[in-house]
Structure 1
Amino acid sequence: MSSPRFSSKWLLSAPELLTARLTRWRFWLRLGVGLLLFGLVAEAVLRVLNGFSYGAVMAAAKDTPAGDLLAAVAATALSFLALTLYDRSALQYAGARLPYRVVAQTSFIAYALSNTVGLGVFTGGAVRLRLYGAAGLEAGQISRAIAFNALGFTVGIAVVGAAALVWGAESVASLLRAPPELLRAAGLASLLVTAAALGACRRGGRWSFRGWTFRLPSASLAGQQLLISALDVVAAAAVLWVLLPAGSVGFPAFVGFYSLAIAVGVVSHVPGGLGVFEAVLLLALGQQVPADRLVGALVLYRVIYHLLPLALALLLLVGSSWRRGVSTPLVRAASALAPLLLSAFTFVSGVVLLVSGATPATEDATAHLRQFVPLPAVEAAHFLASVIGLALLFVARGMLLRLDVAWWAGLVLALASLVLCLPKGIAVSEAVLLGLLALSLALSHRHFDRRAALLSLAFSRGWLAAVLAVVAAVAALLVFVYQDTAYVDTVWWRFEFDGHAPRSLRAMVAVALLTLCVALAHLLHRAPPALPRPDAAELARAQAVVMAQDSAGAGLALMGDKCLMFSESGRAFLMFSRKGRSWVALYDPVGPREEWPELVWRFVELAGESGGRAAFYQVRPQALPVYLDAGLRVYKLGECATVELAGFSLEGKRRANLRHGVARAQRDGLAFEWLPAGAAEAVFDALQAVSDDWLGRQDTAEKAFSLGAFSREYVMRQPVALVRHEGRIVAFATMLVTGLSAEAAVDLMRQRGDAPKTTMDFLFTQIILHLREQGVARFNLGMVPLSGMASHRLAPRWQRLGRLLFNHGENFYNFQGLRSFKEKFDPVWEPRYLAAPGGLSPLLVLSDTAALIAGGWRRVITK
Structure 2
Amino acid sequence: MSWRSETPEDATPPDEALPPRSRPVRDWLSRNRTVLLALVTWVVFAAVAYTTYRITGDIRYKDILHALEATTWTDILIAGFFTVVSFVLLAGYDVNALRHLGKQANLVQVGMIAFSAYAIGNTVGFGPLSAGAVRYRGYSRLGLSGEQIAGVIAFVTLSFGLGLTVTTALAALVAADQVAGFAGLTPQMLRLLSAALLLALTVAAVILWRSDGWLRPHMPRPGIALGQLAITAADLMVCATVLWVLLPQDLEVSWISFVIIYAIAIGLGVLSHVPAGLGVLEAVILTTLGGSTGTDALLGSLVLYRVIYHVVPLLIAVVVVAWTEALEAFHSPRLEWAERMGTLLAPSLLGSLAVICGVMLIFSSVIPAREANLVWLAGYVPALLIEGAHFLSSLIGLVLFVAARGLTQRLDGAYWLTLGAASAAFLFTFVKALAPYEAVMLAALIGFLLLSRPLFDRPALLFSQTLTPPWIAGIATVAISAITILLFVQKDVAYSHDLWWQFEISAEAPRGLRALLGVVVLSALIAIRSLLQPSRPEPGMPDEAELQKALAIVEGQDMGEANLVRMRDKSLIFSDAGDAFLMYAVQGQSWISLFGPIGAPRAQAELIWRFIETARAKGGRPVFYQVPPSLLPLCADAGLRGLKLGERAVVDLEAMDLQSSQWAEQRQALRKGERMGLAFELLEPADLGPILDELQQVSDAWLAHHDTREKGFALGRFERDYVAEQPVAVLRAEGRIVAFATVMQTGTKAEATLDLMRFARSAPPGSMDVLLCNLLVEMKRQGFRSFNLGMAPLSGITAHQAAPFWNHLGQSVFEHGERFYNFRGLRSFKAKYRPDWQSRYLVTPGGVSPLAALVDVTLLIGGGLRGVMRK
TM-score (norm 2): 0.70
CA distance change for structure 1 residues 565 and 827 in 2, over 3 Å: closer, same or farther? Answer: farther
Aligned residue in 2 for 1:235: 238
In structure 2, what is the Cα distance between the partners aligned to 1:470 and 1:32?
A: 14
Q: Which residue does the alignment assign to 2:108?
A: 101
> Shift of residue 317 of structure 1?
1.5
Q: Which amino acid aligns with 1:307?
A: V
Structural mapping, 1:194-205, within 5 Å: 200=206, 205=209
The 5 A counterparts of 1:622-637 are none
1:325 equivalent among 326, 331, 346:
331
- Counterpart of 1:489 in structure 2 is 497
User: Structure 1 pair 208/106, CA: closer, same or farther in 2 (3 Å)?
Assistant: farther
1:372 aligned residue = 380
**Distance in 2 (alpha carbons) for counterparts of 1:143 and 1:230:** 24
- Three-state SS of the structure 1 residue aligned to 2:57 is helix
2:745 counterpart (700, 711, 736): 736
* 3-state SS of 2:314 partner: helix
Report the residue type matching 1:418 in the other structure. F
Superposed CA RMSD in Å reads: 6.1
- How much has 1:479 moved relative to structure 2? 2.2
1:226: which partner in 2? Answer: 229
When residues 36 and 602 of structure 1 are mapped into structure 2, their CA distance, relative to the original with a 3 A threshold, is closer
How far did residue 486 of structure 1 move?
A: 2.4
Deviation at 1:493, TM superposition (A): 0.7
Cα displacement (A) at 1:640: 10
Tell me the distance in 2 between the aligned counterparts of 1:29 and 1:735.
Answer: 46
For residues 359 and 167 of structure 1, the distance between their equivalents in structure 2, rounded to whole angstroms, comes to 42
Task: Give the whole-Å Cα distance in 1 for the aligned partners of 2:398 and 2:201.
Answer: 47
Q: Report the CA distance between 1:367 and its aligned residue.
A: 2.2
AA aligned opposite 2:342: A
Unaligned runs of 5+ in 2: 1-13, 657-662, 700-711, 794-808, 822-828, 865-871
- In the alignment, is residue 271 of structure 1 matched against residue 280 of structure 2? no
Count residues in correspondence. 753
Contact 2:753/2:790, CA 8 A, preserved across alignment: yes
Please point out which of 285, 295, 299 is paired with 1:295: 299
For 1:620 and 1:659, the matched residues in 2 are separated by 41
Q: 1:472-503 deviations in whole A, cap 9, x for unaligned?
A: 22123222222222222211111000111111
| Letter aligned with residue 75 of structure 2 | D
**Which of 427, 432, 435 matches 1:427?**
435
Alignment of 1:462-861 (within 5 A): 462-527=470-535, 547=558, 552-554=560-562, 562-563=572-573, 575-577=582-584, 582-587=590-595, 607-608=615-616, 611-617=619-625, 663=678, 672=681, 735-736=744-745, 744-746=752-754, 768-772=773-777, 774=779, 780=789, 837=848
**Contact kept in structure 2, 1:600 and 1:630, CA below 8 Å:** no
Distance 2:790 2:149 in 1: 36
Shift of 1:421: 0.8
Q: CA, structure 1 residues 39+383, in 2 after alignment: closer, same or farther (shift >3 Å)?
A: closer
| Partner SS, residue 614 of structure 1 | strand
**Whole-angstrom distance in 1 between the partners of 2:200 and 2:853:** 39
Which secondary structure does the structure 2 equivalent of 1:337 belong to?
A: helix
Task: Please list every run of 5 or more consecutive structure 1 residues that lacks an aligned counterpart in the other structure.
Answer: 1-12, 567-572, 676-683, 751-756, 785-794, 808-814, 816-822, 854-863
Moved more, 771-780 or 509-518: 771-780
Please say if residues 574 and 582 of structure 2, whose CA atoms lie closer than 8 Å, have aligned partners that are also in contact.
yes
SS at match of 1:154: helix
Q: Secondary structure at the match of 1:50?
A: coil
SS in 1 for 2:102: coil
Which position in structure 2 is the counterpart of 1:92? 99
What amino acid does structure 1 have at the position aligned with 2:146? A
2:130 match: secondary structure:
helix
Map of 1:135-534 to 2, 5 A cutoff? 135-190=142-197, 200=206, 205=209, 211-248=214-251, 249-323=253-327, 324-326=330-332, 328=336, 331-527=339-535
Partners of 2:613 and 2:237 lie apart in 1 by 34
Q: With CA pairs under 8 Å and 6+ residues apart, which has the higher RCO, 1 or 2?
A: 2
Contact 1:206 1:214 in 2 (8 A): no
Does the C-alpha gap of structure 1 residues 45 and 578 become closer, same or farther in structure 2, counting only changes over 3 Å?
A: farther
User: Secondary structure, in 3 states, of the residue corresponding to 1:490?
Assistant: helix
What is the alpha-carbon distance in structure 1 between the residues aligned to residue 524 and residue 639 of structure 2?
34
Aligned-partner residue type, residue 500 of structure 1: E
CA change 1:57–1:745 in 2 (3 A) is same
Aligned residues of 1:398 and 1:457 also touching (Cα < 8 A): no
Quote the residue 1:65 is aligned against.
72
1:375-403 deviation per Cα after TM superposition (whole angstroms, max 9, x unaligned)? 01110101110111111121112112211
| Cα contact 1:342–1:399 (8 A) shared by 2 | yes
Change (3 A) 1:190 1:304: same
Q: TM-score, normalised by structure 1?
A: 0.71
- Counterpart of 2:709 in structure 1 is none
Q: Give the Cα–Cα distance (whole angstroms) in 2 for the partners of residues 312 and 185 of structure 1.
A: 44
Query: Cα offset for 1:634?
Result: 9.6
* SS in structure 2 of the partner of residue 585 of structure 1: strand
CA shift in 2, pair 1:64/1:474, >3 Å: same
Using a 3 Å threshold, how does the CA distance of structure 1 residues 451 and 616 change in structure 2: closer, same or farther? same
Query: Quick check: 42-51 or 365-374, which moved more?
Result: 42-51
Amino acid across the alignment from 1:145: V
2:803 maps to which residue?
none
Q: Residue 246 of structure 1 aligns to which amino acid in structure 2? A: Q
CA distance in 1, matches of 2:669, 2:769: 18
Distance in 1, matches of 2:372 and 2:690, equals 86
Equivalent position SS for 1:583: strand
